[in-house]
Amino acid sequence: MSRRYFGTDGIRGRVGEVPITADFMLRLGRAAGAVLAAGERRAVVIGKDTRISGYMFESALEAGLAAAGANVALLGPMPTPAVAYLTRTLYACAGIVISASHNPFYDNGIKFFSAEGEKLPDAVEDAIEAELGQPFRTVDSSHMGKAKRIEDAAGRYIEFCKGTVPFGTLFNGLRLVVDCANGSTYKVGPAVLRELGAKVHVIGNKPDGMNINDGFGSTNPEALRAAVLAEGADAGVAFDGDGDRLIMIDHQGRTVNGDDMLYVLAQARKAAGDLPGGVVGTVMSNLGLELALQALEIPFLRTAVGDRFIHQALVEKGWVLGGEASGHMLCLDRTSTGDGIVSALQVLEVMARSGRSLAELCEGMQKMPQVMINVPVAATARARLEDCEPVRKAREAVEARMGTRGRVILRSSGTEPLIRVTLEGEDGEQVQQLAEELAAVVRRELG
């Protein structure tokens, strides 16, 4: 069916503009409750990040769910992966996250998890969309849902995170800087690392409802880099606003992205005999990662961009390790979804066990120069990308100039009104120049 609301990662947009309005969230709560709470399980878990609009949407969703007869378990500010975990352990029928991830505070969105703590199947999202088209109906008062707050939600999740590294693992002696992006990890992230023995200096941990991702977090690692160098830390850890992505900084101030971390984890697991199959990346994964894994005789598979595609491929292949350069990592033998804290623990555990620095662990992979330029466009322009003749010709010209020594990836963002122009090749200066030329054509034709 044709979708009006659900995108590649739930429903997202600017607060106050349809569908990110209080009245829509009321209707969405009722529709989701009617679809998801139709069986024996009637509880729906709701968590949120630190955006000021989260208060409004939490109340609206709660009212809509109760009107459909669903009970509501409120978690308050909590990382997206924590909601997935608590949905499973509280035996809820579904989980809802109010967040726009790495976007600015004036955006917000909704993500759903199934009872298993995984992204909803397309068929279920389609059913919710169909129910949104029905009149608002309230169940009989005797069947209305109730709401309660889960007071120990943070403690439950902290214990889960610690359990994803081998028992007895300690980070004693590791000096870390942790950047919480003024988002949902601002309490639990530092707590997990401190309880495992690390000495932690925290930045980006003073959310005010409007400063989420603003100058901090995985999309803005400059503050973390400065803090790591100033503190003389062994490494820096940066989460995004909802806590499902991770970017690290090594002790020399260099950025360690998802491709680097996949290499570190794959290499360590291969050596320990703990890597079933291979690794899944995306079309955006650096060619250097593919070549490094090839040298280790580790199979590598690319999917379309998006953690749901990586998850699908991992399940189909029976593999457990995958991720994106953006820092959205999947360790399916540790948890069911991308989790920034859990991913950080896996990398730090390799550091602690090997006695090697993060910089040393990354040495075996040489990344190709890669440039990505985000071109703002109207939402309707994203759909015209494939049919735009001037852009197609410009792309072909760039590919001809790069020959077999590079790649061009041109795609619409699934979460923001952007077209992402990405080039990768051996010659960094050429890659930068050609990326700017192609982006200029995209901007002129579609911007």
CA angle 404, 405, 409 (to 5 degrees): 85
| Pair (239, 216) in one structural domain | yes
Q: What is the mean pLDDT of residues 169-197?
A: 97
What pLDDT does 413 receive?
A: 82
Of 120, 146, 111, 119, residue with least CA distance to 10: 111
pLDDT in tens, 433-447: 999 999 999 999 998
Decide: 383 and 301 in contact? Cβ < 8 Å.
no
What pLDDT does 229 receive?
A: 98
| Pair (319, 253) in one structural domain | yes
| Pair (356, 216) in one structural domain | yes
What pLDDT does 108 receive?
A: 98
Output the average pLDDT for the chain: 95
Please check whether residue 232 lies inside any domain of the structure: yes
pLDDT in tens, 156-167: 999 999 999 999
What pLDDT does 367 receive?
A: 92
pLDDT in tens, 17-75: 999 999 999 999 999 999 999 888 899 999 999 999 999 999 999 999 999 999 999 99
| Pair (89, 164) in one structural domain | no
| Pair (300, 346) in one structural domain | yes
Rg, the chain, Cα only: 22
Please check whether residue 6 lies inside any domain of the structure: no
What pLDDT does 251 receive?
A: 98
What pLDDT does 152 receive?
A: 96
pLDDT band at residue 2 under the 50/70/90 scheme: low
Task: Report the percent of the chain where pLDDT is more than 70.
Answer: 99
pLDDT band at residue 263 under the 50/70/90 scheme: very high
What is the DSSP track for 34-99?
A: HHHTSSS--EEEEEE-S-TTHHHHHHHHHHHHHHTT-EEEEEEE--HHHHHHHHHHTT-SEEEEE-
Please check whether residue 1 lies inside any domain of the structure: no
Please check whether residue 2 lies inside any domain of the structure: no
Decide: 103 and 12 in contact? Cβ < 8 Å.
yes
pLDDT in tens, 234-250: 999 999 999 999 999 99
What pLDDT does 226 receive?
A: 98
| Pair (379, 428) in one structural domain | yes
Last residue of a domain, one of 151, 181, 214: 151
**Bridge-partner residues for 373, per DSSP?**
421
Please check whether residue 123 lies inside any domain of the structure: yes
Give the tokens for residue 440: 């200029």
Give the span between the Cα atoms of 410 and 413, in whole angstroms: 10
Please check whether residue 4 lies inside any domain of the structure: no
Q: What is the mean pLDDT of residues 207-224?
A: 97
Assign residue 421 the CATH number of its domain.
Answer: 3.30.310.50
| Pair (374, 351) in one structural domain | no
Counts of helices then strands in the chain (DSSP H, E): 15, 18
What pLDDT does 381 receive?
A: 76
Of 336, 277, 343, residue with least CA distance to 311: 336
Please check whether residue 429 lies inside any domain of the structure: yes
| Pair (117, 30) in one structural domain | yes
Last residue of a domain, one of 298, 329, 361: 361
Beta strands in 276-353 (DSSP E): 279-282, 300-303, 321-323, 329-331
pLDDT in tens, 377-430: 887 777 788 889 999 999 999 999 988 778 999 988 877 789 999 999 989 999
Side-chain-facing half-sphere of 126: CA atoms under 13 Å: 5
pTM reported for the whole predicted model = 0.90
What pLDDT does 281 receive?
A: 98
Domain count, the chain: 3
Residue 1 has pLDDT above 60, yes or no: no
pLDDT in tens, 306-360: 888 999 999 999 999 999 999 999 999 999 999 999 999 999 999 999 999 999 9
| Pair (126, 106) in one structural domain | yes
Give the span between the Cα atoms of 64 and 81, in whole angstroms: 24
Which candidate in 2, 53, 99, 101 is catalytic? 101
Q: What is the mean pLDDT of residues 283-307?
A: 94
Assign residue 140 the CATH number of its domain.
Answer: 3.40.120.10
CA dist list (Å): 218 to 104, 211, 224, 396:
13, 14, 9, 33
Q: What is the mean pLDDT of residues 282-293?
A: 93
**Bridge-partner residues for 323, per DSSP?**
329
Residue 138 has pLDDT above 60, yes or no: yes
Last residue of a domain, one of 151, 176, 198: 151
Please check whether residue 25 lies inside any domain of the structure: yes
| Pair (400, 334) in one structural domain | no
- Is 101 marked active-site? yes
| Pair (343, 374) in one structural domain | no
| Pair (266, 353) in one structural domain | yes
- Domain range for residue 50? 11-151
